[in-house]
Structure 1
């Protein structure tokens, strides 16, 4: 429980300091990034993808054989940092999980981001709240890192 309190305090501090700098979002992706799930099968990530952040808030995700064109933005709120995407088009081929869809799902998708030292960024579900209201993060499922850091 002590660990969770420390994490909650850290996240509350992160939220407080980021609230002071609303104009400066601490994560402004550009270029190509590599996504990898933490879950593994046969010693390898269950899924890995290449995410290319381009001009005009355009994003291309290469996942298995699938290519998905998206629109993206980075938002910051009282809980922290979010990558918000909207699927625009897909080639309909199987993704990294073997799933395929001929059409895109309407609406926005939100990924909670936790920037780490060295440029790696954890991808997580929405944070929870402690009884006193402080946000806390659990269940992160993967990470993205700049392509030049992939080894």
Structure 2
């Protein structure tokens, strides 16, 4: 399944700002009730490997995280499951001020997108793949 990213708006059928009930109504599967990531403030959709994070105050979607087999697609190109350096270079075309998260990935505050590639190392692991992509609301990391 492909989730098309619209910065600071949505990813696939999930819009930032939706309630937990709204998110669950647009997903093709039920969330896994046995996960323990952030407790009641997270839905985990196991078949899609999609995490949806909610604010504690109001239970509104503030971030969406994707892992394989689901593809997070930005401007026609998948960002996860591809070499980190390719995905980073793609994002740099739209945001030349990416924040490097040493040995973890990069974050674009301009686009509201983060790439997670813990195995990336310029010298030892240049072909490491992006393991996860997060799409987040403005102020999520403040």
Q: TM-score range by the shorter chain?
A: under 0.3
Question: As a proportion of its length, which structure holds more helix?
Answer: 1
User: Normalising to structure 1: TM-score of the pair?
Assistant: 0.22
| The structure with more radius of gyration | 1
- Which has the larger strand fraction? 1
Using structure 2 for the length normalisation, give the TM-score: 0.23
